[in-house]
């Protein structure tokens, strides 16, 4: 029990920094084969080996992703891994806190950098953070143009236009 299954990640530049990319945090999992007991409609795209629209009942194996850290817990008794299980929970907690801190920093920087040069900040981000930053910037630009009155006219949706009020004679016999 004196060896750990992972090594804690020390902070990088600041306390909020961490070398794990957001993709690594979100995608640290493996696949396990399972059997389905009922049909899952319109979820066939999740199974790469099939061309059907639905996942069929029991017929064949499909794969489901499970966090790597939990695979050893699935194969043995939890009492023998209680110390390791607690370390895994601490690792997950630090990963979640890192993700939240980096998400907040990226969104805050994208929302508070209107008409400023952000190239130095953006070049340090990974691909997911860059996409998140661009999304925040486009939302900010749209809001700023709406505030200045440069946005297009608001129009009612088709559901509202097609909605007809019921008359009292239609309701009563």
Domain count, the chain: 1
DSSP, collapsed to helix, strand or coil, labels residue 45 as: helix
The whole domain housing 113 covers 22-150
> Is 13 inside a domain boundary?
no
> Is 82 inside a domain boundary?
yes
> Is 164 inside a domain boundary?
no
| Pure H helices in the chain | 22-26, 68-75, 82-111, 119-122, 127-147, 158-162, 168-171
> Is 160 inside a domain boundary?
no
> Is 110 inside a domain boundary?
yes
For 19-51, how does the pLDDT look when each residue is reduced to its tens digit (9 = 90+)? 555 555 555 544 545 667 777 777 776 666 677
Is pTM beyond 0.75 here?
A: no
């Amino acid at each position: 029990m004196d060896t750990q299954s992972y090594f804690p990640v020390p902070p990088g530049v600041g306390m909020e920094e961490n070398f794990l990319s957001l993709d690594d945090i979100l995608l640290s999992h493996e696949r396990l084969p399972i059997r389905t007991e009922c049909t899952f409609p319109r979820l066939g795209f999740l199974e790469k080996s099939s061309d059907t629209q639905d996942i069929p009942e029991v017929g064949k194996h499909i794969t489901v992703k499970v966090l790597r850290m939990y695979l050893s817990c699935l194969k043995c008794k939890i009492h023998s891994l209680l110390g390791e299980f607690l370390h895994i929970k601490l690792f997950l907690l630090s990963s979640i806190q890192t993700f939240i801190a980096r998400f907040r920093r990226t969104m805050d920087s994208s929302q508070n950098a209107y008409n400023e040069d952000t190239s130095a900040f953006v070049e340090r981000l990974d691909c997911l953070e860059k996409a998140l930053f661009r999304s925040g910037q486009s939302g900010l630009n749209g809001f700023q143009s709406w505030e200045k009155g440069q946005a297009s006219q608001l129009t009612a949706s088709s559901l509202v236009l097609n909605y007809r009020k019921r008359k009292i004679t239609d309701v009563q016999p």
